[in-house]
Amino acid sequence: MPAFTGILLPAKELIFQINATPSLNQVGRYMELISEGTLTATDVFTGQEIKIKIPALNSQLSADPTVEKEEGMVQL
C-alpha cells in the first residue's frame, strides 16, 4: 500500500460474502462465521513487522448497526 493510506489517502477496505448452513445443534445460538485470525505484514520503510489479531466473527454481527440484537441467532 502507498504511504499515508488511511491518513492522507483513502483507507483500504475488504468486503466479502460467505454462505453458511447451520446444524440443528446450533438452533438458539449464534453461528461462528470466521475463526480468529492474524494479519502479518512488513513496513517497507522501517522494516518493522506488523501483526494484527483479528477476532472471530459470529452471526450476531455486533459491529453491524443494521442487524438487530437476536436477528443473527440460528432458528428452525
What's the grid cell of residue 57? 466473527
Identity of residue 16: F
The range of the structural domain enclosing residue 47 comes to 22-76
* 48-63 average pLDDT score: 93
Tell me: pLDDT of 54 over 80: yes
Residue 57 belongs to a domain: yes
Supply the DSSP symbol for 29. Answer: S
* Residues in contact with 53: Cβ distance below 8 Å, sequence separation at least 6, in sequence order: 36, 37, 38
pLDDT digits (tens, 9 = 90+) for 12-37: 888 888 899 999 999 999 999 999 99
Quote the strand ranges of 1-76, DSSP E: 32-34, 37-42, 49-54, 57-58
Residue 8 belongs to a domain: no
pLDDT digits (tens, 9 = 90+) for 59-73: 999 888 898 888 999
Tell me: pLDDT of 53 over 90: yes
Per the structure, the count of domains in the chain is: 1
Rounded-to-integer distance, Cα 6 and Cα 58, Å: 27
Phi, psi of 8 (to 5 degrees): -95, -25
* 34-44 average pLDDT score: 93
* 31-48 average pLDDT score: 93
